[in-house]
Structure 1
Amino acid sequence: MDDRGDRIRVAHVLRSLEFGGAEKLVLELAMHQKESGEIAPDLICMRSLGPLSHDAEQHGLKPVLAGMHGIRYVSAIVRLMRIFSRRRPDVVHTHNFVSHVHAAPAAKLLGIPVIHTKHGKHVASFSRFPWLRRYLYNLSWRVAAVSGDTGSSLREKAGLDPSIIEVVYNGINVARYAAGSKREARKKLAVDEGVYLMGSVSRLDPVKDHRTMLEAFKEVAAERDDCLFMIIGDGPERERIKYSIGGLGLEGKVVMPGFIDDIPAVLPALDLFLQPSIEEGLSLTILEAAASRIPIIATPVGGTPEIIVDGVTGILVEARNAVALAAAMNRFLEDPDHFRKLANNAKQRIEELFSLEKMVSSYHAMYRAAIDERVKA
């Protein structure tokens, strides 16, 4: 029995609900939509459910597994058409290109408008068939880019019509991160209050460039014995990072607690947040650190400069430059009060541009406009 009434029915289609920035964002969006009472969201996973599906179920969402692994392209489209016919969404909202390639044609054949969100900067190559990539993107009523930089990539690299691209910034629950306690966070992480704790929170992936972070911290730690570095997260680079820690002689000075589920509870433990990525879409962890009033040093890649205005809301340094990163870290140690002022500015910017409420409202308006246009047609 369908109990969704007159609410807008939205089918979010994504690869899985594994731990990841985009997956976390989609889940947060769907939960907030459900709580609002105005939208009835579905979560449809293409390949696997993943651990975040348990969080979804705790909030009254039951993810649907489409089971696309190992089946032919046309069969996948037919399977999604059957799911859409049963669930009867008013809008299909695809997240990243893997899900869009299958779900957009299925929705289009059923006359359902498609909203597509491009979460990262990387644009699927389709080097032999660029027209096919452009065709698939253009099945969307709108393509939401999570940053202005991502929108530029879609225009310049994918050849999309600018009229269908709309920037919708990622949003977070600012109050949840602003409420954290530094003392309680340090207790959870078993970190003494008398040390400067620097660190990062991310998937341990090559694009996050942990090697440069460690090389920079080595320079800082050579002159200071009151600093500790923490790398929170897990991923394919874990063993390589541990090897680098040993090779740089940083044992005992760098801590790797692994994946931590409750980031809002531990993030306030940090005195300085670093994100020297070589590629980004729009980093959720930078948003979270800013909402927690933690000073930030990052690199001017992807949408990061749209969050971190150099010298105003944080510090930007050249990517892959350990010397510049170490210099910025030392500037923090010399004048932490100045960096805290930047952190306060960053929190204000997050509240104005990157709140969960603002993101949800933007998508709601997009859904309504797509439905209205379909009705008029």
Structure 2
Amino acid sequence: MKSEPTRILFVFAWLVVGGEETEVRLLARHLDPERYRIDAVACFHKPGMPEQTHAQLRALGVDVDTVPYSLSFEDTIAYLSRKVATYDLVISCQNVADIYPALERAHLRPPLIEHGGLVSEALAGPKHLTNRYVGVCRSIRDAAASKMGDRGLHALEIPSMVDLGEFHQDRRHATRAALGLTSATPVIGWVGRLDAKKRVEDFIEAAAITHRQRPDAVFLVIGGPDAFMPEYADHLRDLAQQAGLGTALRFLGDRTDVPDLLQALNIFVWLSEGEGMPHVIAEAGAAGLPVIATPDNGARQQIESGISGLFVRYRQPDEVAKAMLTLLDAPDKRQALGSALRAKVFATYSAEVVVPQWQRLIDEVVAERQPASPAKLFQSYFQAGFECSTHRLRNGKRLDIIASSEHDRHADADYRQLGSLGIRTVRDGFRWHTIETTPGHYDWSSITPMLQAAQHIGTQVIWDLMHYGWPDDLDIWQPNFVDRFAKFAGAAARLVREHSDQIPFYCPINEISFTAWGGGDASYLNPFGRGRGFELKVQLARASIAAMRAILDVDPRARFVHADPAINVVTAPERPEDFWAAEGHRQAQYQGWDMLAGMTWPQLGGEPRLLDIVGVNYYSNNQWIHGGATLNRKHSLYRPLHRLLMEIHGRYGRPLVIAETGIEFDARPSWLAYVAGEVDQARTKGVPVEGLCLYPILNHLGWDDERPCQNGLLEHERASNGRVIYQPLAEELLQQQQKYQSRHGS
């Protein structure tokens, strides 16, 4: 099976135009897409922020998530806590205020690399969840190390990179022509966001001084306003006008062709005070430009004064102008400085040099992630489930799959046969409608032989108490349904305890969310409602909670598996306006579990301990396009099962079990291989999946048409030594059992 790329999520406070945005863009371009997949999420947006980086990243295949733009700070934290759990690595840029609260809330935390471009960022915030801190220059790395205690070595320096392939000297003439400049015009430029700490006013004042002696010179300010200080851009324009620069100084705004514009310059100037490592100095070097700069933090690593650039003092426009005039009159000096800086960029800051540093770091940090502990919750990791649906169809017919498959008559033999196949844990069911034919009176004759068989064979059973069906005299919408079910559950628990002293396992109500959809919205299942799905979900959650409390009163050791489908609903790329509708359907899968855990509707009585074991039911049709087709495993929008499991565990922090999975006909072996492989991947990423249940284990008649469903390991037909076995699936099961045993020793 082809291995999946390492999934990396870059988290930005805001996504504008700058060194960190360039870094992720170049990583997306140069990292091997077969090995690494980059996504990005931005947490905040303000009117006036440029969006060109969004488009550039998307053009490279990066999914840029802007959902937090419409969320509050608290909702963004909740959103991120769910999102980060599905990734192998998170890289947080710009000291994102949301990331630590999100990671604290997530139960499955991916490794975290913080990436800092300022000393102030490195000194801010906690570091206890930070696996590595990457500073773009030495001073930033040292600042981060000072905050990491005895983990100071986990603060690293990886400089911002430049893609030399973006710089083409042969475009100089065309770029100048597009700007209305001749090849002889002296052009001096500045590039960046119009941010006060970049001291653009010093550039303008130096330009005014230079212009008086060299009126032929043109000065370019390339970059748009900073959305947090738009008034600064207005101030700069006023300053240029007051200086009488007129058309000699141009504000070009945000541009996507910065490499070409740099090639059109003769001199580059950077006069910041309080920056990190100016990425644009390396870009100027890639263009072979001489640079005039202040000795600000990382600039001192980039430039050797007099060799690969010229340093000037802070806030000294006259010194800047003097350096401009000197270089304008010395083309050989310009050439020498630019060539030396380009050589430094080639050796130190080129993508060919920097990308391997990132690759080694990513691989190292991801490899440190701890897998889940060996499964030990159940008697066997591979399990079997007997279809035990008992609901009434629309035509009034009552299903009873246990009876129609004759499992009730042959439970002892079925359990024994499964034991011979290495399966010692099963899902099976109480049939409430046969037990409580008279309100408050229980006839246990339908379940007692199965309890005795389990005890006799030594099979561990997870008992479903309601698998879609209930007694005919009950109205599921009425309050007394909850009371009746709780009393039934308590009585069932007493019966189980009479037959076994083992810790009992129950699934109180199978598929709360699916039953609510099928019975309350889609009119597919009894009670065939429409527009009442959430109401039914609340009722079922209330009943399940009451049942668990009744069971715990009988046996405080009891454990509970809450099975529901794990689904994925996506938006068709051509219909992005459907996102929130699709996401609403996807999030609805969690409502039942959330209610049981008390995360929503706490008035129902839910609490975290009641969401004991999350049972994940997963089939080949569990993913689809909203308003469209089912997704198969080869579809580009299909999410691997292990990512769904990571999200579920990240949300709840509870052990998981694949409570149902299967498929019909010849696809059975390959489907088991896929699911087992995905579960293994989830476990390597720290998800405690405690078992995998083949469901149904026994072929049965279809719900709607009574056709023979060929979806089990065991056939309905019996031979002298038990039921006929579907051999291809048995062989695949044996292979998967051996793989599991070789990895975990049991």
TM-score by length of 1: 0.88
Query: Is residue 189–residue 266 contact of structure 1 (8 Å, CA) maintained in 2?
Result: no
Distance apart, 1:67 and its partner CA: 1.4
The Cα offsets for residues 204-255 of structure 1, whole Å up to 9 and x where unpaired, read as 1111212111222222222222211111111123211110011112113212
CA distance in 1, matches of 2:61, 2:194: 31
Q: Does 1:175 align with 2:165?
A: yes
Counterpart for residue 105 of structure 1? 104
Query: Does the CA contact (< 8 Å) of 1:275 and 1:298 recur in 2?
Result: yes
Give the match's secondary structure for 1:181: helix
Match of 2:238 in 1: 243
Is the 2:5–2:33 Cα contact (8 Å) retained in structure 1?
no
Q: Based on CA coordinates, which of the two structures has the bigger radius of gyration?
A: 2
For residue 20 of structure 2, the aligned residue among 16, 19, 22 is 22
Q: What amino acid is aligned across from residue 116 of structure 1 in structure 2?
A: E
Residue type of the alignment partner of 1:362:
Q
Say which of 217, 221, 224 aligns to 1:227: 217
The one-letter code of the counterpart of 2:193 is: R
Structure 1: which amino acid aligns with 2:41?
I
Q: Within 5 Å, give how 1:27-46 maps onto structure 2.
A: 27-33=25-31, 35-46=32-43
* Secondary structure at 1:13 match in 2: strand
* Distance in 2 (alpha carbons) for counterparts of 1:325 and 1:17: 32
Corresponding position of 2:362: 367
For residues 76-131 of structure 1, the C-alpha deviation after alignment (integer angstroms, 9 at most, x for no partner) is 4432232134xx22111111212543454356x414211111122323776xxxxx
Question: How far is 1:194 from its partner?
Answer: 2.2
Contact map agreement 2:95 2:116 (CA 8 A) in 1: yes
Change in 2 beyond 3 A, CA 1:251/1:258: same
Residue 323 of structure 1 is matched in structure 2 by 318
CA distance in 1, matches of 2:52, 2:193: 15
Match of 2:306 in 1: 311
Give the Cα separation in 2 of the matches to 1:137 and 1:361.
Answer: 25
Candidates 163, 170, 177, aligned match of 1:187: 177
1:338 paired to 2:333:
yes
SS in 1 for 2:246: coil
Against the structure 1 CA distance between its residues 172 and 124, is the aligned structure 2 distance closer, same or farther, given a 3 Å change threshold? closer
The residue correspondences of 1:139-288 to structure 2 (distance < 5 A) are: 139-156=129-146, 158=147, 161-235=151-225, 236=230, 237-288=232-283
Letter in 1 for 2:110: I
Residues 185 and 267 of structure 1 are in contact (CA less than 8 Å); yes or no, is this contact kept in structure 2?
no
Q: In the superposition, relative to structure 1, how do residues 140 and 68 fare at CA in structure 2: closer, same or farther (>3 Å)?
A: farther
| TM-score, normalization by structure 2 | 0.46
Distance in 1, Cα, partners of 2:180 & 2:166: 22
Greater RCO, CA 8 A, separation 6+ = 1
Q: Contact 1:45 / 1:64 at 8 angstroms: preserved in 2? A: yes
Q: How does 1:105-124 map to 2 (within 5 A)?
A: 105=104, 109-123=107-121
Shift of 1:66: 4.4
Change (3 A) 1:78 1:100: closer
Residue 325 of structure 1 and its aligned partner are, at CA, apart by 1.0
> What percentage of aligned pairs have identical amino acids?
23
Matched, 1:67 2:89: no
Tell me the residue number matched to 1:130.
Answer: none
Q: Distance in 2 between the 1:328 and 1:210 partners? A: 16
Q: CA deviation at 1:293?
A: 0.4
Give the Cα separation in 1 of the matches to 2:194 and 2:19. Answer: 12
Structure 2 residue aligned with 1:358? 353
Larger deviation: 60-69 or 161-170? 60-69
> Is residue 8 of structure 2 the alignment partner of residue 10 of structure 1?
yes
Q: Which amino acid aligns with 1:13?
A: V
Deviations 1:150-186 (A, max 9, x none): 1123245x46542110001111101212445321220
Moved more, 47-56 or 217-226: 47-56
Gap change, CA 1:166 and 1:322, over 3 Å in 2: same
Partner SS for 2:121: coil
**One-letter amino acid of the structure 2 residue matched with residue 44 of structure 1:** V
Q: CA deviation at 1:354?
A: 0.5
Q: Which residue of 2 aligns with 1:79?
A: 79
> In 2, distance between residues paired with 1:31 and 1:170?
15
Alpha-carbon shift at residue 70 of structure 1 (Å): 5.5
Q: CA deviation at 1:51?
A: 3.8
The one of 275, 293, 300 equivalent to 1:298 is 293
1:31 touches 1:56 (CA, 8 Å); kept in 2? no
Residue 350 of structure 1: CA displacement? 0.4
Listed as ranges, the gaps of 5+ residues in structure 2 are 373-746
Question: Cα 1:54–1:217, aligned 2, differ >3 Å: closer, same or farther?
Answer: closer
Aligned mates of 2:68, 2:42 — CA distance in 1: 8
- Report the CA distance between 1:201 and its aligned residue: 1.1
From the superposition, tell whether residues 101 and 318 of structure 1 become closer, same or farther in structure 2 (CA, over 3 Å).
Answer: farther
Amino acid corresponding to residue 59 of structure 1 in structure 2 = L
Unaligned runs of 5+ in 1: 127-132
Distance in 2 (alpha carbons) for counterparts of 1:255 and 1:51: 21
Contact 1:295 1:343 in 2 (8 A): yes
Aligned equivalent of 1:129:
none
Number of aligned positions between the proteins? 361
User: SS of the counterpart of 1:222?
Assistant: helix
Query: Which residue identity is paired with 1:371?
Result: V
Q: Is the 8 A contact 1:91 1:113 kept in 2?
A: yes
Equivalent position amino acid for 1:78 in 2: A
